[in-house]
Each structure stands twice: as C-alpha cells, then as structure tokens.
Structure 1
C-alpha cells in the first residue's frame, strides 16, 4: 500500500466565493488607501495615524499578504489504492493520510457549510470534522472508531467512485 502511488483521483480547490473575496479585498483596500493617502501624498490617514513605517508594514501584511494568503490557500484531495489523502495548505505541512480500511462506510452528501459546520476551512462540529473550501457537496466518511469526516468536493460523484475503487484495490 505504501509503495503504490497510483492516483485514482486528485482534486485541488481554492476559495472562490465572491462574497469572501469582496471582504478580503475590501479589508486590503483600506490599507492601500492608507498607504496612498499617508505615505505617497503626505496626508494623515485616520484620527490617530500610525507612523509611515508602521503603515508600510501593515500594508505589506494586510494589503498584500492577506489576499495572497487566501489566493494560495488550497485543499488537495487525493485517492490512491487503500488510502485517501487530504492537505489543506498552509495548515497541513504534509497530507493527512486516511487508510481506507478504517472507513466503515461513506456517502455522497449535500450539506449546509454554515449551518452544519460553521463555514468553510478545517471545521469541527457535533457532526464531526470537515475539510471544505467552497460549495456544499462532498463525501462523508464514517469510521469504526471516531467521528465522521466530511471531504468537500466540486466533483463528489467522482470522489465517491474513486474511494469505492481504492477500497476494493487496497
């Protein structure tokens, strides 16, 4: 199992919700406005402005860093014979390996990300754990000895079929 790296399914997702990008870019725009107003035109940004150096540091961190961070954040799901791997970059340095022999059952599901798990990302709730980045579909894994795990997917039917095939092969 460990030496076999045949990939049956691979999916890489990014945050693509319009409302999320409006918020992220809106926050970043505040720091862009501050940089232009205070550093480039010599005005004062806000009632209690920080120094130009501090504003440049905040601009780099929030005005550039925050959008870049959300742009680069990815959820990669990979199915190989006998194993499913999930990596939510940058939070997982290495993929989380789920040996499929520990999976009792699995099902394709439609869920409410906010109502069921409190949103997107790496989420914990009374329903179990979820790795999701956009949408409201995925595959839920049911285990013998732990709470369920939901893997969000833009193509849940293909993910479901790959898990079925990987369990048979593994």
Structure 2
C-alpha cells in the first residue's frame, strides 16, 4: 500500500519579511512614543488608548498566520485534506466521487486571487499555501477543487496509481 502525505505551512520569505517589518515599525513607534515622548503621526495624547488597542490587535494577529496548516493525504480510499484552523476535521473525497484528477500548474493570483482558502464564487475553489502546483479535482457534479502541493512528482505517481485503477 502506498500513501502520499504532505504538510504545508505559510513559511515564504516575503511573508516573514512583511511580519518583521510590521513588528519593527511597531517597536520604532513605541520607542518614539514612550522614550522620546513624540506622538505617532496625527495621534494626540487623547487617542493613546486607541493606539494601544490597535497595536495589540496587530501584535495578536501576526502569529495567526503560523497557525494555518494544509495537510494532504492520498491513499486507496481517496484524497483527504485538512486546512487548520478552518477545517476542524479531515475532509475526504473518494475516488468514486471524482470525474477527473490530475496535477497541474496554475496562477494563484489570476485564478484564485492569492493563497489560502479561496473560493471563486462559482464551482471552483482552492486551498493553497505556497507555490503554483496543485492537485486539480473535478467532482461528478462539476465542482472543482484545487489542493496545492509542493510534491508534484509524488502526487502524480500516487494519483495515477489509484485514480486510474478506480476509474477503469
């Protein structure tokens, strides 16, 4: 029995750079505000409570990106995926529910507007974390789901093994 397993997280260098820049700007602003006694932009002393609340929201939201994780498993039953924390349990698409299944290259920005849990308000959606390679699923009812992968060749091999066998 052969099984494909993959776990992906948002670890792109440019995302790390954005997060570090935001944290750096926050530290610089607090340095100016507390140590030098200067205001941040047009914020007056009366707005300092709002400034603290806004800063806390940003600081608490930055680590959220690291909670997201896409787990994909392909076996003789079908394709299983979980995009935590959105999907609290694994979702399974059985081979018998698929009209077609293949690995393809796609444009995340043009086709789905970026990465993450994406829905194009039609019959097509995507769950992707990084890159531009995905497992395209076309269900019997015509709906399409693309699951991103970083293991293109492994995914192709296991899909050919199980999808072709179950649909002959």
- TM-score, normalization by structure 1: 0.79
Deviation at 1:55, TM superposition (A): 4.0
What corresponds to 2:136 in structure 1? 140
**RMSD, aligned CA:** 2.7
Matched, 1:154 2:147: no
Query: Which of 17, 21, 30 pairs up with 2:16?
Result: 21
- 1:78 to 1:48, Cα distance in 2 relative to 1, 3 A: same
- 1:111 to 1:38, Cα distance in 2 relative to 1, 3 A: same
Unaligned runs of 5+ residues in structure 1 are: 1-5
Larger CA deviation: 13-22 vs 71-80: 13-22
What corresponds to 2:31 in structure 1? 36
Matched, 1:128 2:124: yes
- 3-state DSSP class of the match of 1:28? helix
- TM-score, normalization by structure 2: 0.80
What corresponds to 1:62 in structure 2? 58
Question: Does the CA-based 8 Å contact 1:79-1:162 persist in structure 2?
Answer: yes
Question: Does the CA-based 8 Å contact 1:8-1:166 persist in structure 2?
Answer: no
- Give the length in aligned residue pairs: 163
Cα distance in 2 between the residues matched to 1:57 and 1:81 = 50
Unaligned runs of 5+ residues in structure 2 are: none
